[in-house]
Amino acid sequence: MKKLLIITLALNAMLLAPLWWRFGELFPRLLAWEALGVAGLCMLLPQRGIGLGLRIALLVWVMLTVLIGLGDAATQQAFGRSLNLYLDIPLLRSVYHLLDGNLGRFAATLLLIIGAGLIGLVAWAMWRWLSPTHRYSLSARSGQLALVLVALSGLMSVLELAGQRPLAVGRTPLLDTTGFQIEQVVTTHHARQAFRQRLAETPIMAQPLPGLEQRDVLLVFIESYGVTAIQDPRYRDAVLPTLHEMRERLEAAGLHLVSGVLEAPVRGGQSWLSHATTLSGLWIDNQLWYRLMLESDQSTLVDDFRATGQRTLSVMPAITMAWPEGEAYGFDEIHAASDIDYAGPPLNWVTMPDQFTLDYFQRHLREPGPVFAQIALISSHAPWTPILPVLDDWEMIGDGAVFAPWENAGDPPEVLWQEIERIRDHYAWSVDYSLKAAARWAERAANKDSLIILIGDHQAAPLITGENSTNGVPVHIISGDATLLAPFLAHGFVPGSVPEATDDAPGMHRLRHWLQQAFGEQTQSAISAGAAQ
């Protein structure tokens, strides 16, 4: 009887641990009804034959449910959404690369080995617990107690599934997690078919944009730059002065600036989904949609600008492995980390600082002829250490060797990430650095023949923004030609560097549609006709 009690308590803790992590508290989730049933049933099953098979099945079910529950809690913490097995399994490789970039390959591999070892150890211990040396007899008190536990578990689980909760602290995590994932798989499979059909039936066609002919259009994504950085009191004191400085410096240089907010499809990570949404004009909020879009004949802004006559290129300093997606987009040139001549040190996950990336583009890639460029900045990517200054003298940057003194500056990630408030401070400082570097580059790079779009790729993780933050990201559009900014004012953007707060921002996918509407062939024909009259 003592063993039965210990097993029940252990199972209860295992099944509820993901919920405790997810919600950050023990109460009111104190009792997993299935723990009673699984423990009691395993004590009553025969030791061989069908009993052995059922015991193995129960163990596998429990272990998978606990792992999925932990994965769901981690996904909520990182991305502010639930785990979806149909979509998220391919991201496991990205998790390893993130650990590799932050901690090094040895530490990342060691962590994975330790994790796998712990899972194996728990599974072995569970098997020992759930495999009694003898079967409980129904004639004995222990057997009768096990039967009562099975019956009570079954009754309470049925009531929970029927929407009733006789005991406030009771839950059914085994059934809830399993049912939720099955429902997601079915729903996502149907959505996949519908999305594929929509791609085939209503594609967004490539359009030349004569209103931007002979112009440089530079789309610059700023990592983890969300509206929280300019609205949350914890961060705005660091970021707002830089925005005000950006407006003053651009105006002094004779440039024009408008700002607004767009809604990103993700938060906390998966920047490539925001890139895909912006380029394609489709709402791409998961990995499956991303793959389907790239595998289809769907056109993107890359095709629009190629048809307009721009040379198209992508500058991706975070890409350190093969990137077939770049070829799928059809860029004329792709400049990943290994293609960029950087002689400075990597800075934890960050392969090179943003100021170098922007200067390298300006010096080596912008000419000749008009260009459409996607540039993905990365200095404001976690772990947000070290924090670099923006160098006033851009001529010093050269091949990047000038950044060597910051290789070991500041606390390493494993030290910084022990204190939540220090993490938040470093987040604000890193966004401020990226924004300041981008603004000062724009001051030098913008002219009447260019349109620069500085846009956040997504909000940071809920750890930084809070659980109830929106997915809004600031957008700053800069040009020496004020007429290029008028269409954005018509869509709610405002003059200056600080966008107006909104809870109902348009999606990032609208940007492509706005460009086509404002600068496409039909609009320019209408303008020409009006001028002729």
pLDDT tens-digit readout, 153-201? 999 999 988 889 888 899 999 999 999 888 888 887 887 778 777 777 7
**Cα–Cα distance measured from residue 460 to residue 226, given in angstroms and rounded to the nearest whole number:** 7
Burial of 49 (0-12, 13-18, 19+ CB in 10 A): exposed
pLDDT confidence of residue 40 = 86
For residues 449-477, b (16+ Cβ closer than 10 Å) or e, as one string? ebbbbbbbbbbbbbbbbeeebbbbbbbbb
Identify the CA nearest to 353 among candidates 389, 323, 382. Answer: 389
Q: Which of 163, 189, 215 is the last residue of a domain?
A: 189
Tell me if 195 is assigned to some domain. Answer: no
Are 170 and 245 members of one domain? Answer: no
Residues 203-262 have pLDDT tens digits of 788 999 999 999 999 999 999 999 999 999 999 999 999 999 999 999 999 999 999 999
Residue 31 forms beta bridges with which residues? 170
Are 48 and 153 members of one domain? Answer: yes
Are 99 and 162 members of one domain? Answer: yes
Regions of the chain short of the pLDDT cut 50: 532
For residue 384, the SS3 value is: coil
What's the distance, CA 214 to chain centroid? Answer: 34
Domain limits for position 413? 203-528
Q: Which of 189, 211, 241 is the last residue of a domain?
A: 189
Identify the CA nearest to 454 among candidates 440, 466, 471. Answer: 440
Q: What does R_g of the chain's alpha carbons equal in angstroms?
A: 28
Tell me if 66 is assigned to some domain. Answer: yes
Q: At what angle do helices 2-23 and 141-161 cross, to 10 degrees?
A: 30
Are 294 and 433 members of one domain? Answer: yes
Q: Which residue has the tokens 């079954």?
A: 154
**Cα–Cα distance measured from residue 243 to residue 228, given in angstroms and rounded to the nearest whole number:** 14
**Cα–Cα distance measured from residue 473 to residue 192, given in angstroms and rounded to the nearest whole number:** 27
**Cα–Cα distance measured from residue 431 to residue 260, given in angstroms and rounded to the nearest whole number:** 18
CATH number at residue 400: 3.40.720.10
Residue type at 417 in one-letter notation: W
Is residue 221 a contact partner of residue 456, using CB atoms and an 8 Å limit? Answer: yes
Is residue 219 a contact partner of residue 316, using CB atoms and an 8 Å limit? Answer: no
Are 65 and 124 members of one domain? Answer: yes
Q: Which residue has the tokens 């604000």?
A: 428
**Cα–Cα distance measured from residue 172 to residue 158, given in angstroms and rounded to the nearest whole number:** 10
Are 103 and 169 members of one domain? Answer: yes
Q: How far is CA 223 from CA 174, 258, 309, in A?
A: 37, 20, 29
Are 212 and 248 members of one domain? Answer: yes
pLDDT confidence of residue 134 = 67
Give the contacts of 309 (CB within 8 A, at least 6 positions apart): 208, 213, 214, 370
Are 327 and 460 members of one domain? Answer: yes
Phi-psi region of 342 (alpha: psi -120 to 50; beta: other; left: phi over 0): beta
Tell me if 499 is assigned to some domain. Answer: yes
Are 298 and 411 members of one domain? Answer: yes
For residue 496, the SS3 value is: coil
Burial of 169 (0-12, 13-18, 19+ CB in 10 A): exposed
Are 435 and 497 members of one domain? Answer: yes
Q: Which of 157, 189, 221 is the last residue of a domain?
A: 189
The tally of domains found in the chain comes to: 2
For residue 32, the SS3 value is: strand
Tell me if 138 is assigned to some domain. Answer: yes
For residues 359-378, b (16+ Cβ closer than 10 Å) or e, as one string? bbbbeebbeeebbbbbbbbb
Are 220 and 164 members of one domain? Answer: no
Tell me if 440 is assigned to some domain. Answer: yes
Tell me if 309 is assigned to some domain. Answer: yes
Give the contacts of 455 (CB within 8 A, at least 6 positions apart): 219, 220, 221, 222, 225, 262, 278, 473, 474, 475, 476, 508, 511
Tell me if 86 is assigned to some domain. Answer: yes
> pTM, whole model, 2 decimals?
0.80
pLDDT confidence of residue 199 = 76
Tell me if 517 is assigned to some domain. Answer: yes
DSSP structure string for 413-429: HHHHTT-HHHHHHHHHH
Are 161 and 21 members of one domain? Answer: yes
pLDDT confidence of residue 444 = 94
